Structure 1
Amino acid sequence: MKRKLAATLLGITLVATTMLTGCGKTNESGKVDDGKNTSNEEVTIKYATYSAGPDHIKDLEAMIDEFEKQNENINVEYEVIGFNDYFTKLQTQATSKTLPDVFEINYENFVTYANNGVLKDVTEIAKSDETFDESVLTKGAIDHFKYQDKLYGLTEKFSNVVMYYNKDLFDAAGLEYPKPDWTWKDELKAAQALTKDGVYGTYSPVQYNELYKTVAQNGGSLFDAEGKPTINSKENIEAVQWMIDKMNKYNVQPTPEQMSGKSPEDMFKNGEIAMLRTGSWMLGVFADAPFNWDIALEPANTDKVHHVFVDGIVASANTKHADAAWKFIKFMSVDPTATKLRVESGWDLPVVDNEEVRESFLNIEKPESREVIFEALETGIVPPTVLNYSRVQDKINEELSKAVIGQVTVEEGLNEAQAKVEKIVK
């Protein structure tokens, strides 16, 4: 392994073969060569990611090792930054024009970065690369990181959110396991029976990323079809009240104080939470949990809706190594070895449209109901995309936090969030 930049972990909270058989080469002008690195010039590109840490750093290093074997004159230095700090740091780097050559970006923040002109347009490089076939990508994936008909990167992976549940706790309480047609009321009834002896029945975070999906499960939305905020709608107020009532009214979900700084994922793995809404990226992490567990579709109220998160990989507009950056972007998205490592480690879902990949994912022993991950995609929604997405997210989270501690009512908080977001997106 070539020398890598030490991974920096800053407050990490986190936080499917007919494929390409090699990484083809394009030079800096976009001209395709024979797939071998014939240049004697050795280059180093810097890569930043939020999703590798803390559980997939070894997987990332294995991917980089394979990339460097295929591209002998390209070195990759990586940095892992906690999600809570990631976009703040990127914003600072974008302002100072010191962005890494290649970096991970999520679908919801992509539009803001593309609109600000800080991303490399790779449209022509991709078109000139005869080894790149976009048909290997899952339907529609090529479009996620296009802006104004220009390609700025490739979809790297998908993930979604499902309900993890402790089967042993359900068995001990004499309860049936969650069913696909469960509603919020069914969840509450089970959670009340499960909440005892230091165990909480359920958990879902009261934050923006949970909010936009939860309001949709109640027939609401944060923005209308024209992109205007609808944050304080009746449906949204009802949904947020449900989220908070699970903590403050029914106490089937721990409050922040009752969690004592522990993450909900750690509490689930310790047997302290019976039902947990969290991402598909936790499948591998929970594999060695000391109890029987499985996954199910999330309960809903009026509409069955699930998160779908889309992560991409893009290049800085100021990179001096556009060719090397494109090769790495392509590798991380569609290379067979990278895809295999991603599937085997449970590091989200690759974007190649391949039945063999799907079957290899489903054949992993735990959990038993892995097909639920694909079922959730059928009713999935992606986060809303608006300019200044991070600011919008922050303002809504501020008001949700106030409502959680009772500083404001849910209606007051959403009214204030509506006013703040209207100013940002006007």
Structure 2
Amino acid sequence: MALMTRIRLLQTGLAAVGAVALDACGEAAPTTPASTVAPTKPAATSPSPAPTVQAAAAPAAAPTSLPSGPFPFKVTSATNFAAGERLEWTNKTADEFARINGPKITVENLQVTGNFTEALIASIASGSGPDVARSSGSWMSDFADKGSLVDIGPYARRDKVDLSQWYAQEEVLIRKGKHYGMPFWQAHSIFLYNKTMFTNNGVKPPEGDTWTWTDMLEAAQKLTKTGETFGIQMGYSFEFAWLNFIRSAGEDYINGDRTKTTINSAGTIEVFQWLVDLVQKYKVHPVPDDKSLGEGDLWLNGKIGMRLGGTGLIGSTQFRKPDFEWDMFVTPKHPKTGKRACSANENPTVVISQTKNPEASYMLAKFYADKFSQDLVGKLRINSPSLRSSATDQAVWLAPPPANMKIAAEQMKHAGSLSFHLNWLQWYNETTKQLLPAFKGEMSVREACDKASQIGDSLLRGA
């Protein structure tokens, strides 16, 4: 079958916004909330649990007869994997699924243009929604509570699905005792460094697990050359950036039951002061919207010594083939607590309630979570697979480059979720926005943290 004939466009007139909470590509942070989505509050859990969960709770035995058919059936799968390795994954998995299940069950990929979440809402409202879609913690609970998702728990229990096989985050899979999602990928924080720049400047590389924040700052100072290079760069966001440091210090950005913003706690303010000092005091990190070193991706252009980002950065670096040698290092420890942390965001596959064949749709969601699909996610460097056996396979996700790719598995040992909660996306975006003036030198760190917490708390109360 020709490459594009399996893909039908699901068109919207809406502008794309690229919210990482949805797609988790590994770089950008959420910027614009979908105007019609207001996630409801998940069951209270720890704000930064290790992203693992046992098999879904089974409040009742699986029924002896589950909805099945009609057959033959073509499962429609909403996707924004439109080019490159992602399109390759889309077509290879469609072929393999059809080989195993066809002609009884096949798959048709619906290519989403514009904002994925808003397109999905619009298609469901018009009765033309897909059978399955990749979901996000920023909207999964809202869709579940409105009856827009299928409880796949009975099918999973029938098939004896054990979620401990995956790096599964319960808060985006299970809602009020019902099982809605199958794991797909983990977008977690990573630390890359320009080995060539380290060598040329006589700086000892960050090898082993002894590096602390102090070591990283000292290296960044040696690598920074005014008008030429910056020693370090990360996104101006909690995910893939600030949360690594906040949680390493034993702090968090929200409390345990997700009812109070804790950005202005003494410990978190201290962390933000250190982060702002990278920019304003030591000048080893570019200010927001900095153009002093020109346009384009400063990391890929060889002008950044250490780059903090998400797992999508591995693929973009590998396939762009920059003219420098690069590698990965483990999250540096906090100099006092000795802890390290990183964020991880699960994007599972869910079944939309409008499907005319929930069993076939569940089978596709499960296939996306199983070995063939998960190995491709890793081999094509799309993101870190959720399936543990794929994520820890040295011939799959952990295969070089970079040479120390095995560190990706080490990162997952101290990874925590984004602590999704009621009105999370707006809360996340607004608190982030209040912190930016401190990095620009326009406001003190304490004042920025106070404002972020005040606005965050008002959104928590009013959502």
Q: TM-score range by the shorter chain?
A: 0.7 to 0.9
3-state DSSP class of the match of 1:5?
A: strand
Match 1:311 to one of 347, 352, 361: 347
Matched, 1:398 2:433: yes
Q: Would the alpha carbon gap of residues 363 and 228 (structure 1) be closer, same or farther in structure 2, given more than 3 Å must change?
A: closer
- Residue equivalent to 2:150: 120
The one-letter amino acid of 1:154's match is: M
RMSD in angstroms over aligned alpha carbons?
3.1
- Cα distance change, pair 272–59 in 1 and its aligned pair in 2 (3 A): same
Aligned to 1:189: 218
Deviations 1:177-231 (A, max 9, x none): 1142222222111111111161111011121323333311222111222323212
Cα distance in 1 for residues equivalent to 2:121 and 2:390: 39
Q: Which residue of 1 aligns with 2:110?
A: 78
Residue 87 of structure 2 aligns with which residue?
57
Q: Distance in 1 between matches of 2:341 and 2:206?
A: 16
- Distance of 1:356 and 1:233 partners within structure 2: 35
Structure 2: where are the runs of 5+ without partners?
19-24, 29-64
Whether 1:204 and 2:234 are equivalent positions in the alignment is yes
Q: What does 1:102-121 correspond to in 2, within 5 Å?
A: 102-107=132-137, 109-121=139-151
1:378 counterpart (410, 413, 416): 413
Per-residue CA deviations over 1:355-405 (Å, capped at 9, x if unaligned) read: 896132366231111111111111111111211111111211221233333
Q: Which moved more, 1:153-162 or 1:278-287?
A: 278-287
Are positions 1:148 and 2:195 aligned together?
Answer: no
Q: CA deviation at 1:112?
A: 3.9
Q: 1:316 to 1:135 in 2, by over 3 A?
A: closer
Residue type at the aligned position of 2:317: F
CA 1:320–1:211 in structure 2 vs 1: closer, same or farther (change >3 Å)?
Answer: farther
Cα deviation, residue 4, structure 1? 0.6
- Check 1:391–1:294 CA distance in 2 against 1; reply closer, same or farther (3 A cut): same
Tell whether 2:288 aligns with 1:256.
yes
Q: Which runs of 5+ in 1 are unaligned?
A: 16-28
Percent identity over paired residues: 22
In structure 1, the residue corresponding to 2:299 is in which secondary structure?
Answer: helix
How far apart are residue 258 of structure 1 and its match? 2.3
After TM superposition, the structure 1 = structure 2 runs for residues 5-404 of structure 1, keeping only pairs within 5 Å, are: 5-6=8-9, 10=16, 12=18, 14-15=27-28, 30=66, 39-40=71-72, 42-49=73-80, 56-70=86-100, 71-72=102-103, 73-80=105-112, 85-87=115-117, 89-90=119-120, 99-107=129-137, 109-128=139-158, 130=159, 133-134=161-162, 137-138=165-166, 144-179=172-207, 180-196=209-225, 198-209=228-239, 210-229=241-260, 230-259=262-291, 262=295, 266-287=297-318, 288-301=321-334, 302=337, 303-334=339-370, 336-354=371-389, 358-361=393-396, 364-404=399-439
Q: Is the 8 A contact 1:169 1:194 kept in 2?
A: yes
> For residues 252 and 88 of structure 1, what CA distance do their matches in structure 2 show?
39
1:171–1:329 CA distance, 2 compared to 1 (3 A): same
Deviation digits for residues 51-95 of structure 1 (CA, Å, limit 9, x no counterpart): 77675222222222322333334332233567xx44455556666
**What does the per-residue CA deviation read over 1:306-356, in whole Å, with 9 as the maximum and x for residues that have no partner?**
12221211122333342332122111111x321231221122232334389
Q: Which amino acid aligns with 1:236?
A: T
Question: Compared with structure 1, are the counterparts of its residues 160 and 363 closer, same or farther at alpha carbon in structure 2 (3 Å cutoff)?
Answer: closer
Distance change in 2, residues 1:225/1:39 (3 Å): closer
Contact 1:45/1:324, CA 8 A, preserved across alignment: no
Q: Mean alpha-carbon deviation: is it higher for 323-332 or for 90-99?
A: 90-99
* Residues 398 and 406 in structure 2, CA contact (< 8 A), matched pair in contact too: no
Helix, strand or coil: the match of 1:182? coil
SS in 2 for 1:201: strand
1:4 counterpart (2, 7, 13):
7
1:106 aligns to what SS in structure 2? coil
